[in-house]
Chain A
Amino acid sequence: KQEVTQIPAALSVPEGENLVLNCSFTDSAIYNLQWFRQDPGKGLTSLLLIQSSQREQTSGRLNASLDKSSGRSTLYIAASQPGDSATYLCAVPLTQGGSEKLVFGKGTKLTVNP
């Protein structure tokens, strides 16, 4: 059974700080991992999708890494801004029969203080 864990559950940092969010998964037989952003009461915005053949994926100030062997991924946010305040979720796909579902962690709630 695939389980996804995110640490810490909440993080508060001052503006401008670099930070790392962590995601771990129990079954390393994944073919990709995705990081999402969720604003309060809103839907999910995909930030980065890393294929299992990749070790890193970058988009602007965001950098995500994937280490399948250790069952870990990190999301690095450089020079954080108040607008980065949101909940960040990681998810891995799980194929059962003919369907693919995403298994999510509970998320890390990030607050960036001006």
Chain B
Amino acid sequence: ETGVTQSPTHLIKTRGQQVTLRCSSQSGHNTVSWYQQALGQGPQFIFQYYREEENGRGNFPPRFSGLQFPNYSSELNVNALELDDSALYLCASSRTNLKQFFGPGTRLTVL
């Protein structure tokens, strides 16, 4: 059974650009959640996807969007990047409303 994987490991973008982060969920899991963790803070919930539909959203603007695919993998897209978007982005997969398993994260730096 493979765990949750994320790509890329880290990347650097400039303000105004767009970025796509990817997550492969653990085998048998149908739900993917995304979190943003700024330096020195706890992770903050961005949104959750279940069966390819957004299932819940935290306090993040619409320029944060996502997708979930039939194989339950997921993407997080961020448009019009701002300096404050610099953070570790964590993906977690689970079976419906059961324990979430986290991936290693993607470190995004916005210059």
Contact = CB atoms under 8 A, between A and B. Distances in A.
A102 B99 CA distance: 10
Nearest to A45: B102
B104 A42 contact: yes
Interface stretch (B14-22, B50-58, B64-72, B75-83): B50-58
A102 B97 contact: no
**Main secondary structure on chain B at its contact with chain A?**
strand
B42 A98 contact: no
Contacts of A95: 97
B56 A107 contact: no
A97 interface: yes
Interface residues of A, number: 25
Contacts, number: 60
Nearest to B103: A43
A61 interface: no
Nearest to A42: B104
B43 A100 contact: no
A104 B56 contact: no
Given A42-B104, A46-B101, A101 B50 contact: no
A110 to B, nearest CB: 15
B41 A106 contact: yes
B55 A97 contact: yes
A75 interface: no
Nearest to A89: B42
Contacts of A78: none
16 contacts: A34-B99, A41-B88, A41-B107, A43-B6, A45-B102, A46-B102, A89-B42, A96-B56, A98-B50, A98-B56, A99-B50, A100-B48, A101-B33, A101-B56, A102-B35, A104-B44
Interface of A: 4, 34, 36, 41-46, 49, 89, 91, 95-107
Given A98-B55, A102-B100, 12 more contacts: A41-B107, A43-B90, A43-B102, A43-B103, A43-B104, A96-B56, A98-B56, A101-B48, A101-B56, A102-B33, A102-B45, A104-B44
